[in-house]
Structure 1
Amino acid sequence: MELRERLTGREQKLVLFILALSSFMGSLDATIVNISLPAIAESFRVPINTVSWVAMSYLLVLSGFLLVFGRLGDMKGFRKIFLLGFTVFTLGSFLCGFAFSIEALIGFRLIQGIGAAALEAIGPAMVVIYLPKEMRGKALGILATVVSLGIAAGPIIGGLLTQYVSWQWIFLINVPIGICAIIMGMKCIPADNVTKKPGLFDYYGAILFFFALASFLWPVNEGLTLGWTSPAILGSFGISAVLWILFIIRETRCQDPLCDFGLFRNKNFLAATLAAAIMMLAFSGIEFLLPFFFEGVLGYEAGFAGLLLAIPAVALMIFGPLSGALSDRFGSRGLATISALFAVVTYFLISMYTQNTSILYIVLTLLCVGVALGVFFPPNMNQILGQSKKDEEGAGSSIMTTMKNVGETVGIALMGTIAIFSVVHNTGFDPKTPAADIPMGILVEGFDVAVLAAAGIVILAVILSAIAKDNPGTR
């Protein structure tokens, strides 16, 4: 008897509730931290490029371990990986709440990210394993909805907690919820019997991917502080290049690769996947900088700034389903291209923010960002998955998610570096200066330059989306 047939209707609903809770917490924690970064930087007296690692470390591990835990779920059983993931996530959240230094906080975020990667990687697969077919579409729709709610709620909850309690509570709030979810999971999720191992796990590929990405992010983020020609920075770039080459060689020769590079031989799949990564790169970089602009330059309270940062997520929730329906009817190529072009225009408008920018202008431009992303991603995902061969949809989906997360991680490092470089170049400020000691007014130009750079980068996404043809079979 299959697992889904052993569960009663009540047990199926409880399993879905636990999966929805994990999806909500994972997406919430991906967005709740950014709004608190100015407070964290002030608390530990560190510069902007250092505090950026609080966000990047989480995303780095998420990017590096998604493929790992998806594979381990197949090999070891989904219940075991899910409960382990929730336990690690809850432990990491607890440690983050009591971090005694910025280095400790970054390290504890790595632990938290490992748990989040396990939850995100196997959540959709658990729907297929534990829930009946007639309930599957509804369940996946619920998971998609709660992910969007988590993304939207993150800045709001984070802003309110930072303003009225302390930034530590953006992490500690996860602990009681996590403990309840672990207890419920142990009681409600049945053990899944793994009868055979589907191939060997590519441990070497996983290690190479993680350290190749980490050794690239570190010099991008620290080059301004240490000097771009310093041995440490040049050496790290060189190590990263070698590791990426070794990773590609490993994946093309491995019998059970972590990443199937054969999919990238399809130019349409490659173009659409790169377009998704670029869109996330630009948006995440801007989203990282906005709290410093809102709180430091415009003087908004963290709670109000959190409400503003939730606007793109809310717009994405509204326009995403509409765009998905339109892409099914009219095709994906045109929608993805037009929405990427709209993002370019919107980022150009945001690059004109000043100390005197009206709240109405800010709200409208942030709304346009959400519309652009909401219209872009459903047809873009159709482009990607439509190019995946039969029985390779899972591989295509995991690559798509990983590339978006990599883009998000690189975006924070790149846009933060561009903003600070502009400030240093024009004012002579020491890049090691704690963020709290920098007159925030001078960050306006750095912010505007970084957003303008993001607009220029997204032009590549426009071109790539136009190149990526629809699969006739998806129309």
Structure 2
Amino acid sequence: MTMPRAQRIKILIVLGMMSLLTALSGSSTNLAMPKISADLMISSSAATWIVSIGLITTSVLLVMFGHIGDLVSKNLVFLIGEMVFIVGSLLTGIAPTYLTILAGRVIQAVGSAMIMANSMGIVSQYFPDANRAEALAVISMFVSVGSISGPAFGGILITWASWRWIYLFNVPVGLLIVFAGMRLLPLRRPATGEIKQVWGNANWTGQNLFTG
């Protein structure tokens, strides 16, 4: 799709910042486990599910949301994923009980899966072959920065505020990214022929085996 270079760069920043935010939240969670366990009065073994349930949910849904993005619109699924991630972050941040925080983490992970499954595809839509590898590398760089800086970021928030701000931080920042994404990412529904082709080529057997 032909698009001015300046707009492509802005889209790349939106994709990168949201990828960074999801990676930052995930890598900060491990550090927060002792504080969460003490605050919610749960055992360390129960606390591990706060991390595990997010990883499992994201892994199971990645392929499915990739197919949905192909069928409907990668941009739309990505934008909805941003909003789902924000809702999950808010619920996790204000969670009064263990079950509530698990629910929040599941919702957050669903949003992460929607984002991760479609961000690279969006890059492929708007960047020509000559620049595509560089754009994909930029997204990977944002993810790496979020993963590496998460423990330090989480440590600062836990020390000076609360573990809850690891998740509440995502709300205002995420809303800004959503607003930018809604302005920059055009929504286009694939033609019926494209949908049939994608549906026919989708490896639903592989998805079932992957989630089984």
| TM-score of the aligned structures, taking structure 1 as reference length | 0.42
What SS class does the counterpart of residue 32 from structure 1 fall into?
helix
Matching residue within 85, 92, 110 for 1:89 = 85
Superposed CA deviations along residues 135-170 of structure 1, whole A, max 9, x for unmatched, are: 211111111111111110111111111111100000
| Counterpart Cα distance in 2 of 1:14 and 1:194 | 23
Contact 1:32 1:158 in 2 (8 A): yes
| Counterpart Cα distance in 1 of 2:58 and 2:157 | 24
Matching residue within 102, 110, 115 for 1:114 = 110
Q: Equivalent residue for 1:150?
A: 146
Larger RCO, structure (CA 8 Å, separation 6 or more): 2
| Counterpart Cα distance in 2 of 1:259 and 1:92 | 30
RMSD: 1.9
| Counterpart Cα distance in 1 of 2:135 and 2:157 | 31
Q: Equivalent residue for 2:164?
A: 168
Q: Equivalent residue for 1:293?
A: none
Shift of 1:85: 0.3
Shift of 1:132: 2.3
Contact 2:67 2:202 in 1 (8 A): no
| Counterpart Cα distance in 2 of 1:143 and 1:257 | 26
| Counterpart Cα distance in 2 of 1:129 and 1:259 | 26
Shift of 1:199: 4.5
Matching residue within 68, 72, 77 for 1:76 = 72
User: Are 2:9 and 1:28 aligned?
Assistant: no
User: Are 2:75 and 1:129 aligned?
Assistant: no
| Counterpart Cα distance in 2 of 1:52 and 1:42 | 13
| Counterpart Cα distance in 1 of 2:107 and 2:153 | 22
| Counterpart Cα distance in 2 of 1:9 and 1:105 | 41
| Counterpart Cα distance in 2 of 1:10 and 1:133 | 17
**Paired residue type of 2:22:** G
Superposed CA deviations along residues 281-340 of structure 1, whole A, max 9, x for unmatched, are: xxxxxxxxxxxxxxxxxxxxxxxxxxxxxxxxxxxxxxxxxxxxxxxxxxxxxxxxxxxx
**Paired residue type of 2:11:** V
Query: Can you give the 5+ residue segments of structure 2 that lack an aligned partner in the other structure?
Result: none
| Counterpart Cα distance in 2 of 1:199 and 1:142 | 27
Query: Can you give the 5+ residue segments of structure 1 that lack an aligned partner in the other structure?
Result: 202-254, 262-398, 404-475
**Paired residue type of 1:170:** I
Matching residue within 201, 204, 212 for 1:258 = 204
Give the share of equivalent positions with the same residue, in percent: 28
| Counterpart Cα distance in 2 of 1:119 and 1:104 | 23
Shift of 1:256: 4.1
| Counterpart Cα distance in 2 of 1:117 and 1:36 | 22
**Paired residue type of 1:104:** T
Superposed CA deviations along residues 256-301 of structure 1, whole A, max 9, x for unmatched, are: 433549xxxxxxxxxxxxxxxxxxxxxxxxxxxxxxxxxxxxxxxx
Superposed CA deviations along residues 354-392 of structure 1, whole A, max 9, x for unmatched, are: xxxxxxxxxxxxxxxxxxxxxxxxxxxxxxxxxxxxxxx
Shift of 1:39: 0.3
What SS class does the counterpart of residue 23 from structure 1 fall into?
helix
Matching residue within 55, 58, 63 for 1:62 = 58
1:294-309 to 2 correspondences below 5 Å: none
Contact 2:81 2:114 in 1 (8 A): yes
